[in-house]
Structures are given as structure tokens and as C-alpha cells.
Amino acid sequence: MLVNQSVDNYDRKTGTYIVAYLDILGITNRIKGKDEEGLALNKLYNLYTHTIHTTKMIQIQENKDIQFKIFSDNIIIAKRVSEDKEQRMKDIRSLLMCAGHLQELAASDSVGWMLRGGITIGQLFIDDVMVWGEALVKAYYLENKVAAYPRVIIDNIVVQEIIGNEILKEYLRLDFDNLYFLNYLNDCSFCGQMLMEGFEIMKAEVNNRFDEKIYQKFCWHMNFINSELDKKNQKKDKKYRLSM
């Protein structure tokens, strides 16, 4: 049956958005494994709903129109960005805060999972039905082909916009391969305890099913957190030192 074209709206257009494409690592194995009590399913569901609820509860104007698309372990977060320079920086920060909060929560004691992803700015269409655009393609490419480790790669087009901003540049970290990724602990204070406990959850999972590639990602995660806790002076007490 053909769609009734007389009532369809042909005015759909893409706009300029900052887009994060995120992927929770290891979900396929958790789906295939035993999950009689629905532990993995409920962790994932609670991670998503808490992130969305917290984003909407934070009382800043830019958070009101952040949009989410979720399919299993794939998360798209999108925020339209203004052409006005000052407002644009606020829009970008809003998205970085939201993506960072989700990654921080995933790494904490309530979940204990790693994720990777990509963030870019470009043309996008998103509504309740679908998402479309070159920004989605690029963000997915960064997650799927570039990130490799549990990090969210920030596209150079975003880096060039924010690296000169005293506040936003703190969301950037330059990695060993000269790629910038999201410092998701930028807005996190006194988080050593929850990160350590989340790390112990990850460690138990890695030890139960040892795999060299997973171990590699696990070590990257450990080194990043230790480095950030050093900067925050929260690692003076050795109990907050992540170690194998």
C-alpha cells in the first residue's frame, strides 16, 4: 500500500548538530551469556534512563532539547548548535557534559562497564521516528573504526572550535596516537571511590573470560583514570589507586 503523499510533510531538513555516537563494550557477550536475573539488561536500562533523567533535571537551557536515540548498546545523543559563537559554546558544552556523564556512570560502581564512541559536528535530521545525516555517519565512523580503546574520539572539527576556550578545552585529552578524546571525568569531583569499585567489577569480568583485546582496553581504562585522579589530587590515598 502506498503512503498517502497528500498528508506527508516534505519540509524535513537537516540542521547543524553536535552528535555523539556511543557503544557499550561487551554487550553482545552479555546477551549471549546467562543473565537469568536480567542483571545486564537492567543495568543497561537504568544507565540510559538515569542519564536521560539527569540531563533533563539539570537546570540549564541548553539541556532542554538534547535528543537521545537508543538501540540496545548503541546510543546517539544530539544537540542542535547555534550560529552565535557564545551560544554555540554553551550548546557544545551541554553535549559534552551529557556524554561525559553517561561514560562516567557506566564506569562507576553502579554499572562497571566501558564504552567507546565518537563526537562530531555536522548536518543531521532527528525526530521520534528516525535519525539521518553526515554527522551520524562520521560519529559512527569514529566509534567503529578509530576509537579502538574505551574512549570517545572528538573529531578535529570540534577540537578546533573548543581548544581555545578555557572551560571547554578541559574536556579534551590528547592520546598517545595524537587523537583527542573526551575527558569524561572533567565534571566529576571526589569520584575515586566509585571508579575504584567500578573497576573491580570490570576486573572480575575480565578475569572470568580472559581475552587479549579486552585486557588491552581494560589497561587503557585503568591508566586513564589513574592519570585523571592524579590531576584531581584524589589519589594520594592509595586505596584509590587502580591496579591489576
Instruction: Label residue 128 exposed, middle or buried (CB < 10 Å: 0-12, 13-18, 19+).
Output: exposed
Q: Output Rg (C-alpha) for the chain, integer angstroms.
A: 19
For 82-126, how does the pLDDT look when each residue is reduced to its tens digit (9 = 90+)?
999 999 999 999 999 999 999 999 999 889 999 999 999 999 999
For 16-39, how does the pLDDT look when each residue is reduced to its tens digit (9 = 90+)?
999 999 999 987 777 777 665 578
Ramachandran region of residue 4, left (φ > 0), alpha (ψ -120 to 50) or beta?
Answer: beta
CATH placement of domain 13-185: 3.30.70.1230
**Which pLDDT score is estimated for 1?**
45
Q: Which cell numbers in the block locate residue 40?
A: 545486564
Contact, 20 vs 40, CB < 8 A? no
Estimate the crossing angle of helix 192-208 against helix 212-231, to 10 degrees: 170
What span, in angstroms and rounded, lies between the C-alpha atoms of 89 and 82?
Answer: 9
What span, in angstroms and rounded, lies between the C-alpha atoms of 24 and 1?
Answer: 38
**Which pLDDT score is estimated for 242?**
66
Estimate the crossing angle of helix 39-57 against helix 85-107, to 10 degrees: 150
What span, in angstroms and rounded, lies between the C-alpha atoms of 132 and 242?
Answer: 40
Contact, 125 vs 161, CB < 8 A? no
User: Helix, strand, or coil here: 64?
Assistant: helix
Residue ranges of the chain with per-residue pLDDT less than 50: 1, 237
Q: Residue 234 contacts by C-beta under 8 Å, 6 or more apart in sequence?
A: 190, 191, 192, 240
**Which pLDDT score is estimated for 29?**
76
Contact, 120 vs 135, CB < 8 A? yes
**Which pLDDT score is estimated for 149?**
96
